Structure 1
Amino acid sequence: MKRTLTALTVAVAAVAAGAAWYVLDKRPLRDGELILARLQAPVSVRYDERGVPHLRAEHEEDLYRALGFVHAQDRLFQMEILRRLARGELAEILGERLVDTDRLFRTLGIREHADRYAGRLDRQAPEVRALLAYLDGINQYQASRPAPLEFDLLGIPKRPFTVEDTVSVTGYLAYTFAAALRTEPVLSYIRERLGSDYLKIFDLDWHPQGVIRQADAAAALTERDWQGLGALARLSQNALAAAGLPQFEGSNAWVVSGRHTRSGKPLLAGDPHIRYAAPAVWYEAQLSAPGFELYGHHQALSPFALLGHSRRFAWSLTMFQNDDLDLIAEKVNPENPEQVWYQGRWVDLESREETIKVKDGEPVTLRLRRSPHGPIINDALGAGAGDRPIAMWWAFLTTENPILEAFYRLNRADTLDKARSAAERIHAPGLNVVWGNADGDIAWWAAAKLPLRPAGVNPSLILDGTTGEADKPGFLPFSANPQEENPARGFILSANYQPLSPSGVAIPGYYNLPDRGQRLYDRLARADVQWDLENSQALQLETATDYPQRLLRPLAAELRGAARDDQERQLVERLLAWDGRHELDSVDATLFNQLTYQLAAAVLLDELGETFFDSLLGTRVIDSALPRLAADADSPWWDDRSTPAREGRAEIVAKAWQDALAHLRSDFGEDPGQWTWGRVHTLTHGHPLGQQRPLDWLFNVGPLAAPGGREIPNNLSHRIGPAPWAVVHGPSTRRLIDLADPEHSLGINPLGQSGVPFDRHYADQAEDFIRGRYQPQHYAEADVAAHSRGELRLLPARD
């Protein structure tokens, strides 16, 4: 027995040692020397206590080549999974369940567009030379170092990263902003199947020009078409979640002039709202070369920071949320199904075939078509596409969009003129650039190519391709975009609400509620506050909203009438007096969010059915619709179509109230004191491989009790639904830069700098983030030296 136990102990120790060696071999090298081909001179990479690299080079291309190398050390799998998502190649490594996602992204045309776009680039332009050097650094890392753990588990072959991959990932970014694909099918269904009275809660201007008309038999969509559109909306909503990848959702950003700061210089704050995932979306790095320095936040496969600051300037981004995508129902020639009616004649559809490789399965061949308006988007559904082709016009596919040049310039934009010129080169996706500099200037530009649409056309609804009203005669000049430079009020705020155009032109879009922006605006407008890093933290971490009272006050009488006993009456009164704070110990936050879902279900589900109801809950329009519905006792939505009686607001509110209490009592106990927000509202950072057990235990981080909530400054947001709630998206970083002392700015990563499982920086910031703590972003040479935990020297190859 002793010999057996000894042998077993030795075997276990050997396995443990082998596993430890295997894991250690995958970790990034943060100390020592390595040869990097095509360097002109050595590059120093010092890593601080959070694993952030501080790169110093003698030449700009060396700097970007080194950035590619160290970025790949930490995030190669993220780079791989993102390019595969954008180019429709996930099923090749993740299997059949990702075929639908691949089919969607192939149909969007991102892959085809990226290949054409890359072929037109000037290889001698400075932004392209920088990109090529960065990609070379990634490829040198991939070729010379051990593959990431995920590559081994999934059997991913190594292949070089290309310019086409970077452009494709830009297309993925643009797609995540395109809310129309998830919204227009639902709104069009409501108009056609329920009638215009049901659209009133969505506050859409009723302009029937250009939209499909159900009364016109030739133009009408069939039941199969509606089923296909419902499936398309759901596929669009779920595609990124199925891949476990981030989706851009909103953002806060503001910049305050020196008149209102304690330091006398502008102060910039920014927290872009993005779907949570592991690894985290942003990769921090400080770059320094003669004539250039920047502390930036980079996306995978992008050499240029999308967020950043230097000693001279700083900027952040929010989503513009302009509607840059239209769905267009085409009319098919009954004599030739490969032709559609366009500008008074039948024209041929373009067609091509692509093949999706499927792990452990047969390849899937796609036939992808295109009309003069754009790709036939319901081809993504294959046999379930419906009877009528639905084309997609998308600004990303039709504009020149020199976005590489835009961000190369923005990374160096220390004056108003330079920053404005950079912003003008962003065509799609639409972005708000919020910017300030140490000279005292502050500015905001809504950056996008805004399409001209014929008068009266409502792009919130599916358009009729047989009319010229679906066409785009051109684009507005950049001067017509919403923008401000050094406004008299002394601050600029961007929080995804609908902006005003300087020319008065309507800018259609799927904007967020004004509540979050209004709350921030009211605080920034206070004349008695001088802003600094400390009180700016409190503003970014604000957990209250006025939205609950906007929704509940019109229903106060009905809620009081719905309460059946003293306990319920106390709960109603607490809810009606609640200040909207979503703190971890709040019971009111739990009760309100459950009631919100039950109210939406009781009112909308019977008319929409499961598919369109589920799609609507995933759109931004639901948040603005519910308070309008609550305020309109005569809305036709109040009647429950599943019963022979005609219900009104009182009956439906009573049902929603009782359903909310029943759910909370059943799942969380009879005592309302146990229904605390921190118990039911949690954040888990999910890795693409962590969606299956037991891999979730290895790769995911969480659950972590989360304060904040939907459309709150601390926008740790969940999807409307029954408790418990998983936080879906929220601040992807929180940054604060006082331009009087930009070398001591603050920030936080929601998870960690590294994307390598078991690395010490994989999740070392998760607890600080959820608790609202910040970390210094080291910039000054003395700070970088004092906080360095290792130095990697990248050396040129010897001749």
Structure 2
Amino acid sequence: MKRTLTTLALIAAATAAGAGWYLHGKQPQRDGELTLAGLQAPVTVRYDERGVPHLKAQNQDDLYRALGFVHAQDRLFQMELLRRLARGELAQVLGEKLLPTDRLFRTLEIGRHADARAAQLDASSPSVRALQSYLDGINQYQASRPLPMEFDLLGIKPRPFTVADTLSVAGYMAYSFAAALRTEPLMTHVRDALGADYLKLFDLNWHPEGVLADTALSSGDWQDLAALAQLSDAALADNGLPQFEGSNAWAVSGSRTASGKPLLAGDPHIRFSLPAVWYEAHLQAPGYELYGYHHALIPSAMLGHNRDFAWSLTMFQNDDLDLIAERVNPDNPNQIWYQGRWVDLEQRTESIQVKGAAAVTITLRRSPHGPIINDALGQNSGTTPIAMWWAFLETDNPILDAFYQLNRADTLDKARAAAAKIEAPGLNVVWANAAGDIGWWASAKLPLRPAGVNPTFILDGTSSEAEKLGYRPFTDNPQEENPARGYIVSANYQPVPASGIEIPGYYNLPDRGRRLNQRLSDATVKWDQHNSQALQLDTGTDYPKRVLAPILGELREAAQGAQEQALVQSLADWNGEHPLDSVAATVFNQLLYQLAHEAMADELGDAFFDSLLQSRVLDVALPRLTADAQSPWWQRKGSSTTQTRAQIVADAWRASLTHLTEQLGADPQTWQWGRAHTLTHSHPLGIQQPLAWLLNVGPFAAPGSHEVPDNLSHKIGPAPWQVIYGPSTRRLIDLADASTALGSNPVGQSGVPFDAHYADQAAGHVLGVYRPQHLSEADIAASTQGALRLLPH
């Protein structure tokens, strides 16, 4: 037995040593010297205590080549997975379960569009030259250094990254903004299948003339559209990759700050992923310096600051995607009616490589309005082709130039000119400089639709309502520069442009923006980094009061016994804040779901109700629902008796308490928000054990909630709640001294498992810990943990 135990111990030790040796070989090199072909002079890369690289080069070509190298060292697998997602190539490495996702992204034509645009770019332009240098750095790393562990696990064979890959990832980003694909089928179903009385709940204009006539949808078409909405959401949610959701940003002029200089705050809200979406890097070369936040495969920073200026982004939420029902020629299924005549649909075939199985050939079609999006489903049950008009596919969209210029925009004129080049997706650029200016530009190329057309619904391809009359000039877009009030706030609510034009979109509730505006408008406050932190970390909202006030009496009638009456009273007294110890937050969020389910699931059916839970329109609908006792949604479908709001509220209350008791125990005092509301950062491969245990980070008890300033947000649904998205960073830059800037990373700088910086910031970020962003030479020298020299080859 002793010999057996000794043998087993030796095997275990050898296995552990082998695993340790293997994993050690995969770790980033942050000390020493390496050679890099194409460099004109050495580049120094100093890594600080968070693993942020501070790069110093003698010219900008070297700077971007070195950035590509160090970015790949920390994030190569993220780059690989993003380009595969965008181009519909995941099944090749993840198997046939990813076929639906690949089919969807092939249908979206992102890769096809990127290939065409890449061939048109001017290779001599500064932005393309920077991109080529950056990609060369990535490719040199991939060709010369150990490949990530995930490449070995999945059998990924490396291939060079290209300009088309970068443009494909930009397309993926644009798609992740596009709520229309997940919302328009739902809203059209409510309008056409349920009617005007049901549609009122969503605060949309009712246009009976817009009901689809010649292209009326069949029951099979509705099934397809419901499946398409679910596929669209799942393609983003199930792959562990970032999806852009919302954001806060504000700029305060020097007259309203303690320092006398502008202060910029920003926290873009993005689906949490591992690694995190942003890669921080401080770049220096003669005539250029920026502390930036970089997206995978994009060399220019999308957020950034230096001593002279700073900017942040929020999502515009404008509707730049229309779904269009085409009318098929009964004598020729490959023709549709377009502008008074039958025209052929374009057709092409593509082959999707599938790991462990034969390649799958798909047929994709396109009408003059755009790709036929329900081809993403393969075998359709319906007969109506649904085309997708998408601004990303239709505009020139010089987004590489836009951000290259924004990285250098130290004046209002330069920042405005850069913002005007962002065409799709729509973004709000909030900017400030040390000279005292602040500005905001809602950047997008806004299509001109015919008068009276409501693009919230699927449009009729046989009529003129589906056509575009051109685009509005950038000067019509919402924007402000140096407003008299002394501050600018952007929080995804519907903007009101000075031009007075209507801008259709899928905007967030105004509550979050109103709460920020209420505090920023207090002229007695001088803003600094300390009180700005408190504002970014605010967990409160007035939304619960708007939902609960009309039904508090009915909740009291439904409550049984002193304990339940006390719970109702806690809701009545609750201030809407979501700290970790709140019981009222837990009860309210469960009740919110149950109200939606009891009132609306029977009319919508499972697929469309699930789409509703994923949409922003539900946020608007629920306060209107509780305020209207006569809403038809209170009537149960198929019931022979008339239901009332009081009955449905009582049922929702009883179901809420039953569910919370099952999940959290019989004592309501233990139903604290932090027990029910948690954040786990999931690696794309961490969907099953033991990889989940090895690669995922969390769970962490999470304060905040849906549509509060500290927007650690979950899907409306039953407890417990998994936080889906939230602040992808929290940044505060006082331009009196930008070297004191603060920021945060949701997980860590590195995407390499078992690296020291893989998850070193995760526990602090969820609780609102800020960390210094070193800009001065003294601070960089004091915080340097490793120094890598990249030498010409």
Q: Would you call these one fold, judging by a TM-score over 0.5?
A: yes
Could you tell which deviates more after superposition, 199-208 or 540-549? 199-208
The aligned counterpart of 2:32 is 32
2:434 is aligned with 1:438: yes
Does structure 2 conserve the Cα–Cα contact (< 8 Å) formed by 1:244 and 1:691?
no
The aligned counterpart of 2:230 is 234
The aligned counterpart of 2:354 is 358
Structure-2 separation of matches of 1:482 and 1:385: 42
Structure-2 separation of matches of 1:648 and 1:755: 53
Could you tell which deviates more after superposition, 663-672 or 456-465? 663-672
Structure-2 separation of matches of 1:356 and 1:785: 50
The aligned counterpart of 2:69 is 69
The aligned counterpart of 2:371 is 375
Structure-2 separation of matches of 1:47 and 1:163: 28
The aligned counterpart of 1:510 is 506
Give SS of 2:680's match: strand
CA distances 1:62-108 after superposition (whole Å, capped 9, x unpaired): 00000000000000000000000000000111111111111110001
Give SS of 2:378's match: helix
CA distances 1:356-390 after superposition (whole Å, capped 9, x unpaired): 11111221111010000000000000112521000
Does structure 2 conserve the Cα–Cα contact (< 8 Å) formed by 1:208 and 1:457?
no
Structure-1 separation of matches of 2:7 and 2:628: 77
1:681 CA drift (Å): 0.2
* Matched letter for residue 34 of structure 2: L
The aligned counterpart of 1:771 is 767
Structure-1 separation of matches of 2:124 and 2:211: 47
Structure-1 separation of matches of 2:128 and 2:610: 43
* Matched letter for residue 683 of structure 1: L
Alpha-carbon RMSD across the aligned residues, in angstroms, is 0.9
2:304 is aligned with 1:305: no
2:755 is aligned with 1:759: yes
* Matched letter for residue 456 of structure 1: G
The aligned counterpart of 1:161 is 161
The alignment's TM-score, normalised by the length of structure 1, stands at: 0.99
Structure-2 separation of matches of 1:606 and 1:361: 40
1:4 CA drift (Å): 4.0
Does structure 2 conserve the Cα–Cα contact (< 8 Å) formed by 1:255 and 1:434?
yes
The aligned counterpart of 1:557 is 553
2:149 is aligned with 1:149: yes
The aligned counterpart of 1:475 is 471
Give SS of 2:336's match: strand
CA distances 1:416-448 after superposition (whole Å, capped 9, x unpaired): 000000000000000000000000000000000
2:598 is aligned with 1:602: yes
The aligned counterpart of 1:288 is 284
The aligned counterpart of 1:742 is 738
The aligned counterpart of 2:382 is 386
Does structure 1 conserve the Cα–Cα contact (< 8 Å) formed by 2:215 and 2:384?
no
Does structure 2 conserve the Cα–Cα contact (< 8 Å) formed by 1:208 and 1:458?
no
CA distances 1:486-544 after superposition (whole Å, capped 9, x unpaired): 00000000000000122111000000001111001000111111110111111100011
What are structure 2's unaligned runs of at least 5 residues? none
Structure-1 separation of matches of 2:358 and 2:597: 40
1:5 CA drift (Å): 3.9
Structure-2 separation of matches of 1:369 and 1:208: 30
1:565 CA drift (Å): 1.4
* Matched letter for residue 96 of structure 1: E
Question: Aligned match of 1:454 in 446, 450, 455?
Answer: 450
1:3 CA drift (Å): 4.2
The aligned counterpart of 1:789 is 785
Give SS of 2:737's match: coil
Kindly report which structure 2 residues correspond to 1:79-228, keeping only aligned pairs within 5 A, or say none.
Answer: 79-209=79-209, 211-213=210-212, 216=213, 218-228=214-224
Structure-2 separation of matches of 1:770 and 1:669: 25
* Matched letter for residue 20 of structure 1: G
Structure-2 separation of matches of 1:684 and 1:638: 36
The aligned counterpart of 2:727 is 731
1:208 CA drift (Å): 4.0
Structure-2 separation of matches of 1:4 and 1:677: 51
Structure-2 separation of matches of 1:615 and 1:711: 19
Structure-2 separation of matches of 1:46 and 1:660: 53
The aligned counterpart of 1:10 is 10
Kindly report which structure 2 residues correspond to 1:636-785, keeping only aligned pairs within 5 A, or say none.
Answer: 636-785=632-781
* Matched letter for residue 73 of structure 1: Q
- Change in 2 beyond 3 A, CA 1:385/1:177: farther
The aligned counterpart of 1:413 is 409
Does structure 1 conserve the Cα–Cα contact (< 8 Å) formed by 2:683 and 2:695?
yes
CA distances 1:719-744 after superposition (whole Å, capped 9, x unpaired): 00000000000000000000001011
Give SS of 1:117's match: helix
The alignment's TM-score, normalised by the length of structure 2, stands at: 0.99
Does structure 2 conserve the Cα–Cα contact (< 8 Å) formed by 1:320 and 1:446?
yes
What are structure 1's unaligned runs of at least 5 residues? none
1:139 CA drift (Å): 0.2
Structure-2 separation of matches of 1:321 and 1:49: 36
Does structure 2 conserve the Cα–Cα contact (< 8 Å) formed by 1:269 and 1:737?
yes
Structure-2 separation of matches of 1:346 and 1:279: 49
* Matched letter for residue 107 of structure 2: T
Structure-1 separation of matches of 2:79 and 2:145: 16
* Matched letter for residue 719 of structure 1: K
Kindly report which structure 2 residues correspond to 1:41-60, keeping only aligned pairs within 5 A, or say none.
Answer: 41-60=41-60
Structure-1 separation of matches of 2:172 and 2:2: 60
Structure-1 separation of matches of 2:497 and 2:539: 30
Give SS of 1:574's match: helix
- Change in 2 beyond 3 A, CA 1:385/1:365: farther
Give SS of 2:81's match: helix
The aligned counterpart of 2:398 is 402
1:485 CA drift (Å): 0.2
Structure-2 separation of matches of 1:666 and 1:403: 50
Kindly report which structure 2 residues correspond to 1:523-602, keeping only aligned pairs within 5 A, or say none.
Answer: 523-602=519-598
The aligned counterpart of 1:273 is 269
1:568 CA drift (Å): 1.0
CA distances 1:573-607 after superposition (whole Å, capped 9, x unpaired): 11011000101000000000000000000010010
The aligned counterpart of 1:21 is 21
CA distances 1:149-185 after superposition (whole Å, capped 9, x unpaired): 0000000001000000000000000000000000000
* Matched letter for residue 671 of structure 1: D
1:770 CA drift (Å): 1.3
Give SS of 2:142's match: helix
The aligned counterpart of 1:252 is 248
Structure-2 separation of matches of 1:183 and 1:673: 38
Structure-2 separation of matches of 1:648 and 1:464: 37
Give SS of 1:625's match: helix
* Matched letter for residue 21 of structure 1: W
Give SS of 1:384's match: coil
Structure-2 separation of matches of 1:564 and 1:18: 62
Structure-1 separation of matches of 2:407 and 2:666: 56
Determine what percentage of the aligned residue pairs are the same residue.
Answer: 69
Structure-2 separation of matches of 1:88 and 1:2: 55
CA distances 1:326-362 after superposition (whole Å, capped 9, x unpaired): 0000000111111110110111111111111111122
The aligned counterpart of 1:490 is 486
Does structure 2 conserve the Cα–Cα contact (< 8 Å) formed by 1:208 and 1:456?
no
1:212 CA drift (Å): 4.0
* Matched letter for residue 479 of structure 2: Q
* Matched letter for residue 36 of structure 1: L
Structure-2 separation of matches of 1:326 and 1:536: 39
* Matched letter for residue 662 of structure 1: T
* Matched letter for residue 561 of structure 1: E
